[in-house]
Structure 1
Amino acid sequence: MTFPAEDDFRRLLDALTSCVLLHDAQTKAIVWANRAACVALGFSVEELLPLKARDMTRPEPKYRREIGVGAMDRAITEGPQVYEWCYRSRAGVDMLSEAVATYVPLSGRDVVMVQFRDISAEEATRQKLRRYEARLREFMQDLDEGVAVVTPSGGVQFISESGRRVLGLAPDEALGAVLDYCTEADRDRLIAQLRDAPSVRPSEPQRYRIVRRDGTPCWLRITCRHVQIEGDLDGLLVHFRDIGGEVVIEDARRTEARMLEYAGRYNAMGEMATVIAHELSQPLAAVRNFIEGAIQRLNAGGAVDDAIWGLRSADRQAEHAALIIKSVREYIVKREPEVVVADLRDILSDVAYFIELRAREAGVAVTIEQAGVPLPIRCERVLIGQVILNLAFNAIEAFAGFVRVPSTPRTLVLGTAQAMDGLAELRTIDNGPGVADEAHAVLFDGFFSSKAGGNGIGLSLCKSIVTRHGGRISASPARGGGLDCRFALPKSRT
């Protein structure tokens, strides 16, 4: 085998831009350096020859001469060796380098060629990244949010320590599949969210009830985004947060809202007690009269047919009284939430009876104007009925003590219509005293009342119920005086 001459080999290395030192294979002493190495270290070849490791490296244990010699010896017996070494220039500047020791037999002698390149900037970047990673790990320790990278097939490539804590996983416990934690009822929804994850922004947050590994239930809010980094990553970046506390608060607020809504219905009927009692007194008095008449005819030996007629008339009046009681009971009874699709026109018809009773006592003429087309809305029917009642009762009560000049009839118009933006709208328009101009914007904001002694809870309830149904409510001056209150709700497509 023919080995290259040392001079030819040196000329070849001198043309390289990478730094090269040649060491004698036996003594490990420097025997030559190419031009790039001389420039980088600030020494000439002649100045480099007598230098030892202690003269051109840091005085640290990991840069002892024995370490470097060991790497060169392994290069002779095992093949090229890559190691980190710190070279120190003539000016005293340290140059952290990646060194590659390669055994090269030449015609004159055997050498170990050490190629090295400055990796100071790379190491500084790595250290900075390690610091950032450590900080991020510390910051994420106390988060209630977990981060995971999920493959398109559902495997988990990465999960943060905070994510393991959210899922109730022990440090070394296997994660398992993503769907293992989800309830059967929510699996299809989670699969659809992961499948349809966008790539430019996180998906809309979805809420799921899961069972942690320790067996405790938990509520999570999950968002995801498809991420793709060529040659490194192709999957879903999933963020999940424990929202158990939020769910508890929301449940408490819903319960409180239900109680307040029930109290509002009960209060409305309480205010109408006198009117309802008067309405009941008429059929009950008629029942008594018909029964007494039937008894008198039978005692006097009159015709049985006459007595039967009186009893049947009494039965009809009793049925009328029962319907009044049933209407009141169905309105004020505490009910569980039931969302249905109902025509807004039908809801207005349901409560019109109570409105007309109250208006009759106050001397207010009520006009019902129904839309000519169906207005289907998805709602809790009894709550929307309560909004209509509250608006109508507020308008009727505003007439108390109000005298129009010149004297004109007191009127209240209740109407349904399709709004210009396609929503289903209900309006109450009265010709009463109205409110101050600055009050229209805050009429439904809570504790505002247009009547003496009022507390405004009914109007605040109206806004709460309408907003919860995804609608809007407003007040404005009516033409010719009075108040125009309207609420609009999204129409149902089903």
Structure 2
Amino acid sequence: MNFPAEEDFHRLLDALTLCVLVHDAKSKAIVWANRAACSALGFSLEELLPLKAADMTRPDTKYRREIAVAAMDRAETEGPQVYEWCYRSRTNVDMLSEAIATFVQLQERAIVMVQFRDISAEESMRQRLRGYETRLRELMHDLSEGVALLTRQGTFEYISESGLRVLGLEALPSHGSMQDYCALADRERLGLQLDRANSERTSEPQRYQIVRRDGEERWLRVTCRRVNIDGDPDSLVVHFRDISSEVEVEELRRAEARMLEHAGRYNAMGEMATAIAHELSQPLAAVRNFIEGAIQRLNQSEGMDSVLWGLRSADRQAEHAALILKSVREYIVKREQATTHVDLRDILADVSYFIELRAAEAGVTVHIRQSSEPLPVVCERVLIGQVILNLAFNAAEALVADSVVGGCVTIEAVRQNESAELRVIDNGRGVEAGRHERLFDGFSSSKAGGNGIGLSLCKNIISRHKGRIWAQEARSGGLDCRFSLPLQLGGITAADL
């Protein structure tokens, strides 16, 4: 086998894209350079040979000649040495390089071959990445969310810095699981979410109340997904976010809604009281007349039959008044919120008496049409009754305000597909085209001088019951207001069948 000649080795090294400088092992002087090194440094081979380190190195303390000489010397005893070096070209352009010094014993003399490559772009990228990492850490420092990696057994393998703060920790716990931070009532549910996690998609977010290590109670929204890390397909990535402020706002909104509903119920009672006062005046006046007549007959020594007749008549009128008061009392005692299974027809029957009183006072005819089949729903009975009252009272008042002759309000409870539907239809003038969709928004009303708060409250109540409320033009040209609630059949909604 014929070995290549020395010139062939030169050609091989010249063909490399990697820069090569050959130094004498003792003096460290340059004895040869390949084409790539000459091109990178901007010198010809003849120009390179007499140069010293100061002629082709960045003038910096960490690039002193002694450091490079020490690396070359170690290459002889310890093997190839890798170090960072900054060469400077003929045009004063710095080239940060990764250099490898290798000791080679040739036949004639010992040399140190230094291979180097430009890593300026790589170092620039590393600096940018470090900058991004620093900024990311700064951005995440105040985040109210965290990421944790859990083992197959559910213990913590990693928690982000922000996650440690969310859980009230200073360092990664050596034992314990994610469930340990949950309130007792939520631990089983969180365990079930983690067990059901898969790698195909992130789990649906769940909300949990937690107790931090400092004892503070917070609320977290948690999602998780299985991932394959280091060959373990059962690793679990958990993302959790502190939503305590959101929960607080929701609770405030619920409290505000309860206050509005409470005010609405008592407002309706006040309106009913006006109609009831008029209705009660008749039987109470009759009671007084009958009792006065009985007293006069007793004074005139008339027969006991006429006296008893007067007293019995007074008793009947008093009983009539008692029935009126009983109807009011039964409605008022239901004012506290209580979600229950009820037939929508029964709610309509509860409030129809008050609607008829108001309508009679306004000179409006009311027609109640009940469905022939049950309409089971789950709702707060009094609140849904309030909605029916508001819609009916609005219809009657609109007919009076528009001076409609022969004003009529029709109230229907019907089944419509998988919903129980309540319709309040009047034969008035209706509302302008395009206003039907905005009628239940705040501060929109079908009545002149109305502020629309009642209808807005109706929308709020129906929405909370997962129902729908809307208005449309009636066939008679008046207004047709409707709401629907999901039917409950055998404990489930009709939509679930």
Q: Which interval holds the TM-score relative to the shorter structure?
A: 0.7 to 0.9
1:103 and 2:103 are equivalent in the alignment: yes
SS at match of 1:440: coil
What's the counterpart of residue 328 of structure 1?
A: 331
Structure 1: state its 5+ residue gaps: none
Question: Residue 461 of structure 2 aligns with which residue?
Answer: 465
Q: 1:50 to 1:423 in 2, by over 3 A?
A: farther
Q: TM-score, normalised by structure 1?
A: 0.80
Residues in 2 aligned to 1:96 and 1:233: alpha-carbon distance in whole angstroms = 41
- Residue 410 (structure 2) aligns with: 413
- 8 Å Cα contact 2:156/2:172 also seen in 1: no
Once the two structures are overlaid, the 10-residue window that deviates more, 149-158 or 484-493, is 149-158
Q: Secondary structure at the match of 2:437?
A: helix
User: Contact (CA 8 Å) 2:99, 2:117: kept in 1 or not?
Assistant: yes
In 2, Cα distance between equivalents of 1:234 and 1:126 = 32
Per-residue CA deviations over 1:440-478 (Å, capped at 9, x if unaligned) read: 333222233334554322112112222233333222221
SS of aligned partner of 1:358: helix
Q: Distance in 2 between matches of 1:351 and 1:198?
A: 52
Query: Following TM superposition, by how much is the alpha carbon of 1:184 offset from its aligned partner in structure 2, in angstroms?
Result: 2.4
After superposition, the C-alpha distances for 1:138-175 in whole angstroms (9 at most, x for unaligned) are 223333x32314246345455443333333333x4648
Q: 1:28-427 maps to which residues of 2 (within 5 A)?
A: 28-143=28-143, 145-151=144-150, 153=152, 154-156=154-156, 158-170=158-170, 172=171, 174=173, 177-194=177-194, 204-224=204-224, 238-277=238-277, 279=279, 320=323, 323-331=326-334, 333=335, 335=336, 337-404=337-404, 407=405, 409-419=406-416, 422-427=418-423
In structure 2, give the amino acid aligned to 1:147.
G
Structure 1 residues 424 and 70, CA gap change in structure 2 (3 angstroms): farther
Which letter does structure 2 place at the counterpart of 1:81? Q
- 1:83, distance to aligned residue in structure 2 (A): 1.8
Q: Once the 2 structures are TM-superposed, how far is the Cα of residue 285 of structure 1 from its aligned partner?
A: 8.2
Query: Is the 8 Å Cα contact of residues 179 and 187 (structure 2) preserved in structure 1?
Result: yes
SS at structure 2 position matched to 1:442: coil
* Distance in 1, Cα, partners of 2:234 & 2:30: 49
Q: CA deviation at 1:400?
A: 2.0
Contact 1:146 1:161 in 2 (8 A): no
Letter in 2 for 1:118: D
SS, match of residue 475 in structure 1: strand
Secondary structure of 2:162's match? helix
- Whether contact under 8 Å (2:18, 2:36) holds in the other structure is yes
Q: Does residue 448 in structure 1 map to residue 447 in structure 2?
A: no
Amino acid in the other structure paired with 2:61: P
TM-score under structure 2 normalisation? Answer: 0.80
> Structure 2 residue aligned with 1:475, among 439, 454, 471?
471
Kindly state the Cα deviation for residue 218 of structure 1 after the two structures are TM-superposed.
1.5
How high is the sequence identity, in percent, across the aligned residues? 63
Amino acid at match of 1:326: R
* Alpha carbons 2:462, 2:468 under 8 Å: kept: yes
Structure 2 counterpart SS, 1:351: helix
Once residues 106 and 280 of structure 1 are traced to their aligned partners in structure 2, the CA distance between those partners, rounded to angstroms, is 125
Query: Does the aligned pair in 2 maintain the 1:367–1:413 contact within 8 Å?
Result: yes
- Cα deviations across residues 293-347 of structure 1 (Å, max 9, x unaligned)? 9xx9xxx999xxx9xx99998997687456324323224x3x2x43344443343
How far apart in 2 are the matches of 1:226 and 1:262?
47
What letter matches 1:397 in structure 2? E
2:430 is matched with which residue?
Answer: 434
Contact 2:462/2:483 (8 A) holds in 1? yes
Q: Distance in 2 between matches of 1:163 and 1:269?
A: 52
Distance in 2 (CA, whole Å) between partners of 1:37 and 1:116 is: 8
Q: Return 426-435 or 97-106, whichever deviates more.
A: 97-106
- Matched letter for residue 430 of structure 2: G
Distance 1:360 1:226, change over 3 A: farther
Q: CA offsets per residue over residues 160-205 of structure 1, 9 Å max, x none?
A: 43333333333x4648633232222223443454556687876554
Q: How many residues align?
A: 478
Larger mean Cα displacement after TM superposition, 149-158 or 250-259: 149-158
Q: Deviations over 1:73-114 (max 9, x none)?
A: 333333332221122233332221222223333333333332
